[in-house]
């Protein structure tokens, strides 16, 4: 008997609530896999009165009987990884077994430094909105084939050779372009050796763990970071992340063939948010945006930055459905819309006087897009205790059905609060 696979992807600009969806589904899975991104992720899980924010650890780590895997496609900041593990142990948590891929790349201190320096050097309007966690520079080294991999941390000779070469190159950039002090390669080497001592027991063949689990009949859940609209290939380039959060990224980042993916679940908020720079057609810079920010607690889990907020954009959601081959949508934070007399939903754009119902692949085109809204009746009821779709107010049900109709995709899970139990399951 073979297990089944689910891929969880964000369909907006990240921060959709993927962590709570993964946590809700992890109980049915034997394995939870992070397949891309790094410590720029901030997946929030609320269990009872406890809140957990995971930057690197898979959101299934709180299930002690599970296996959690960090795949090849992830870039790892060892300091963040150790901090997360230590914090959970201090809180008395018994954790899932963790396997880190030998092939995952390591975020070095010079990556973080170069990330911050590059962002500060960009002029207004050209800033990316990076978290400064070194993600982009680490992926850059990966594709230049000079990166430090997890396996190098437990191979002192290879580690020293790579580090000496890399830091010599980085020091040229630091001193001649940014006019900063050079880095000490020996200090970096000693730090990396200490990382290897602790990470060594965690290392393994991630793809093999996944395939063995499937062969044994265990279900596997693949957890993406960021969102479709931040994908380096299909997002609002250049205001994107440096990896592939789309469902296809699970194949390359974890080592599983496309034909082995059984289901893709896209996570979307009941409204829309974005952190950082770049076009955002439905953004409201006035009182509505502020109200959504306040009610939804829209501040970055990684950076603490206030998120830009606006009404839901179904043009973008439909685009993500097509890009990822989404089979079902998980709608989070529906409770935040309680109390609105009317709810607006973007169903088309006006671009240079032309009505467009498809998401433009050009970022320059999207920047000119004016949202065209349809208005739906709101509801005043507190829905946080609803556990069945039928328990929702009629207007809330109609809102969900409207999303289903316009995206031709069923909504299989609805979040009506922060907690693990604040969830309506609809055929998931």
The 10s digit of each residue's pLDDT in 30-56 is 999 999 999 888 778 877 778 888 899
Tokens of 110: 């010079």
- 221 touches 33 (CB < 8 A): yes
pLDDT value at position 285? 96
**Measured CA distances, 158 to 10, 105, 120, 140, 370 (Å):** 37, 14, 33, 20, 53
Which fold is adopted by the domain 5-101+202-264? Adenylosuccinate Synthetase; Chain A, domain 1 (3.40.440)
Tokens of 426: 């609809």
- Which part of the chain has CATH 1.10.300.10? 105-199
Cα 40 vs. chain centroid, distance in angstroms?
A: 8
pLDDT value at position 25? 86
Closest C-alpha among 130, 98, 102, 126 to residue 116:
130
What average pLDDT does range 365-394 have in this prediction?
Answer: 96
C-alpha to C-alpha distance for 247 and 326, rounded to whole angstroms: 9
pLDDT value at position 126? 67
pLDDT value at position 286? 95
Buried b or exposed e, range 250-280, using 16+ CB within 10 angstroms: bbbbbbbeeeebebbbbbbbbbbbbbbbbbb
Residue 1 has pLDDT above 70, yes or no: no
Confidence of residue 19 (pLDDT cuts 50, 70, 90): confident
What average pLDDT does range 382-408 have in this prediction?
Answer: 96
pLDDT value at position 301? 64
Tokens of 294: 């306040």
What average pLDDT does range 358-387 have in this prediction?
Answer: 95
Catalytic residues: 15, 43
- Which part of the chain has CATH 3.90.170.10? 268-425
Residue that the structure tokens 């000496």 belong to: 164
Cα 80 vs. chain centroid, distance in angstroms?
A: 16
What average pLDDT does range 145-170 have in this prediction?
Answer: 96
* pLDDT tens profile 255-291: 999 999 999 999 999 999 998 889 999 999 999 999 9
Query: What are the start-end ranges of the E strands in 250-341?
Result: 263-269, 272-274, 308-310, 312-313, 328-332
Class of domain 105-199: mainly alpha
pLDDT value at position 28? 87
Q: Dihedral of CA 116/118/123/129: which sign? A: negative
Residue that the structure tokens 């007399």 belong to: 341
pLDDT value at position 207? 93
* pLDDT tens profile 88-127: 999 999 899 999 999 999 999 999 999 899 888 776 666 6
What average pLDDT does range 283-312 have in this prediction?
Answer: 90
Q: Torsion-angle region of residue 306: left (phi > 0), alpha (psi -120 to 50) or beta?
A: beta
* pLDDT tens profile 239-254: 999 999 999 999 999 9
pLDDT value at position 319? 98
pLDDT value at position 317? 98
Residue 302 has pLDDT above 70, yes or no: no
What average pLDDT does range 341-348 have in this prediction?
Answer: 97
Contacts of 394 (CB under 8 A, 6+ apart): 379
Tokens of 137: 């520079």
Q: How much of the chain exceeds pLDDT 70, in percent? A: 98
Residue 75 has pLDDT above 70, yes or no: yes
pLDDT value at position 49? 78
* pLDDT tens profile 346-369: 999 999 999 999 999 899 999 999
pLDDT value at position 56? 93
Closest C-alpha among 247, 241, 244 to residue 266:
247
Residue that the structure tokens 């009165």 belong to: 49
**DSSP output for 345-404:** EEEEEEETTEEE-S--S-HHHHHT-EEEEEEEE---S--TT--SGGGS-HHHHHHHHHHH
Closest C-alpha among 52, 37, 80 to residue 226:
37
Closest C-alpha among 369, 251, 374, 260 to residue 319:
369
Q: What angle do CA 349, 416, 292 make, to 5 degrees?
A: 50
pTM of the model: 0.92
* pLDDT tens profile 182-239: 999 999 999 999 999 999 999 999 999 999 999 999 999 999 999 999 999 999 999 9
Structure-model confidence comparison of residues 405 and 128, the more confident one: 405
The CATH number assigned to the domain with range 268-425 reads 3.90.170.10
Average pLDDT, the chain: 93
Q: How much of the chain exceeds pLDDT 90, in percent? A: 82
pLDDT value at position 80? 95
Residue that the structure tokens 């020293």 belong to: 160
């Amino acid at each position: 008997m073979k297990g089944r696979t689910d891929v969880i992807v964000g369909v907006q600009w990240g921060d959709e609530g993927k962590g709570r969806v993964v946590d809700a589904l992890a109980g049915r899975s034997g394995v939870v896999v992070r397949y891309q991104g790094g410590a720029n992720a901030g997946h929030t899980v609320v269990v009872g009165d406890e809140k957990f924010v995971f930057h690197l650890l898979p959101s299934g780590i709180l299930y002690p009987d599970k296996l959690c895997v960090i795949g090849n496609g992830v870039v790892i900041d060892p300091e963040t990884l150790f901090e997360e593990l230590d914090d959970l142990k201090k809180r008395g948590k018994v954790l899932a077994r963790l396997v880190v891929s030998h092939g995952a790349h390591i975020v070095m201190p010079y990556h973080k430094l170069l990330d911050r320096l590059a962002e500060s050097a960009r002029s207004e309007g050209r800033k990316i909105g990076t978290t400064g966690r070194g993600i982009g520079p680490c992926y850059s080294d990966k594709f230049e084939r000079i990166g430090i991999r997890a396996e190098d941390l437990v191979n002192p000779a290879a580690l020293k050779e790579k580090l000496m070469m890399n830091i010599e190159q980085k020091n040229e950039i630091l001193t001649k372009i940014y006019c900063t002090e050079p880095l000490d390669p020996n200090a970096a080497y000693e730090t990396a050796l200490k990382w290897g001592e602790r990470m060594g027991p965690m290392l393994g063949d991630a793809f093999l763990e996944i395939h063995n689990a499937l062969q044994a009949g265990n279900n596997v859940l693949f957890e993406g970071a960021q969102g479709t609209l931040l994908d380096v290939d299909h997002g609002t380039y250049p205001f994107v992340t440096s990896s592939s959060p789309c469902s296809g990224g699970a194949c390359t980042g974890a080592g599983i063939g496309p034909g082995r993916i059984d289901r893709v679940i896209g996570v979307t908020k009941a409204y829309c948010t974005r952190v950082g720079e770049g076009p955002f057609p439905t953004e409201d810079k006035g009182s509505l945006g502020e109200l959504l920010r306040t009610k939804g607690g829209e501040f970055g889990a990684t950076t603490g930055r206030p998120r830009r907020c606006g009404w839901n954009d179904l043009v973008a959601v439909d685009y993500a459905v097509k890009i990822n081959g989404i089979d079902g949508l998980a709608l989070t934070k529906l409770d935040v819309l309680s109390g609105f007399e009317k709810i607006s939903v973007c169903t088309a754009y006006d671009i240079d006087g032309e009505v467009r119902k498809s998401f433009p692949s050009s970022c320059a085109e999207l920047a000119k897009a004016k949202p065209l809204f349809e208005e739906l009746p709101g509801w005043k009821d507190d829905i946080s205790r609803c556990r069945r779709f039928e328990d929702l107010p009629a207007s809330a049900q109609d809102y969900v059905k409207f999303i289903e109709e316009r995206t031709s995709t069923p909504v299989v899970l609805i979040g009506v609060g922060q907690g693990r139990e604040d969830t309506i399951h609809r055929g998931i």
